[in-house]
Amino acid sequence: DTEVTQTPKHLVMGMTNKKSLKCEQHMGHRAMYWYKQKAKKPPELMFVYSYEKLSINESVPSRFSPECPNSSLLNLHLHALQPEDSALYLCASSFVSGANVLTFGAGSRLTVL
């Protein structure tokens, strides 16, 4: 298995909703990442997990809450989002060494009404 699987592919939510994005990989990667991408912009790093511990938080608002329950899963819990949070959310994984390639998922398209 050489894929990163993200669910759901599309999500529409109101500003008072609580929802979660999920990411799964079975490549033995111990580093997992969340990126946010707005239209026609490059991806922006949000969080990095290394060996299931949060190693980088790019000053992301607390309405985004990451969770790494085990080495194969990465969640992003969403609560009280704003319309400007609408974007493509990309998950990626890699071996922990900085020399390794990142493998990206297909993304979850989030729309906040």
Partner 1 sequence: KQEVTQIPAALSVPEGENLVLNCSFTDSAIYNLQWFRQDPGKGLTSLLLIQSSQREQTSGRLNASLDKSSGRSTLYIAASQPGDSATYLCAVRGDRGSTLGRLYFGRGTQLTVWP
State the residues that interact with partner 1 by CB under 8 A: 6, 31, 33, 41-43, 45, 48, 50, 55-56, 88, 90, 92, 98-99, 101-107, 109
- C-alpha 57/C-alpha 60 separation (Å) is 6
Nearer to partner 1, 55 or 82 (CB): 55
- C-alpha 96/C-alpha 113 separation (Å) is 37
Mapped onto helix, strand or coil, the DSSP state of residue 28 is: coil
The distance of closest approach from Cβ of residue 89 to partner 1 in the complex, given in angstroms and rounded to an integer, is 10
The distance of closest approach from Cβ of residue 49 to partner 1 in the complex, given in angstroms and rounded to an integer, is 11
Mapped onto helix, strand or coil, the DSSP state of residue 84 is: helix
Nearer to partner 1, 12 or 56 (CB): 56
